[in-house]
Amino acid sequence: MSDPSGTTDDHDAASRARLNALLDATARGDQAAFAELYRLASRHVFAVIVRMVHDRGEAEDLLQDVFVSAWRRADSFDGTRGGAMTWLVTLARNRAIDRLRQHREAPLDEAAAAEIPDEDPTPAAAAEASEERARLERCMERLEAAQRGAVREAFFSGATYSELAERLRVPLGTLKSWIRRSLMQLKTCLEQ
């Protein structure tokens, strides 16, 4: 969400430039720059990992692995090909995928696989899900634009409430109230 004055876009560009500069300094062995990079980026990277592995303890381990890898491979970062946050999130995503692959159980034999029920939704279930999505969208449209945007950001961006409040330039308490009231309105609307 950018405001008409463009200050949010300017802030985002400055943040991206700062992260890129910190990663470049890390590539030169600057430990203070690496510590600052971790401070600024770790929450977002952690949120990405948690969404993928669904286990906070495992996500913490992976976050540490990602930043150790970032320290060792910082010289491979090329700011002309993408931003530092994108590079870190890509490292995180790849680590999480590797970890998920490690946890897969051995493949089932054909007889056991034949006994597993088909989980594809039936046409009736797919139609019902489509109707529910449409109802949710209609209910979302009833919310004020700022609250609707806050709810979408909260559930789809992976950012913390503090990060969202900063991004939307509203007090943290206001953001929490918006989301709480919006969820109550959505619940009421969906129950009708």
Its pTM stands at 0.52
All structural domains of the chain, each given as residue ranges with its CATH number in brackets, are 7-102 (1.10.1740.10), 133-191 (1.10.10.10)
Question: How many whole angstroms separate alpha carbon 70 and alpha carbon 64?
Answer: 10
Q: What is the pLDDT along the chain (192 residues), one digit of tens a residue?
A: 444 555 566 767 788 899 999 999 999 999 999 999 999 999 999 999 999 999 999 999 999 999 999 999 999 998 888 899 999 999 999 999 988 888 775 455 566 555 656 566 667 766 776 788 788 888 889 989 888 888 887 777 767 888 888 888 889 899 888 888 988 998 888 888
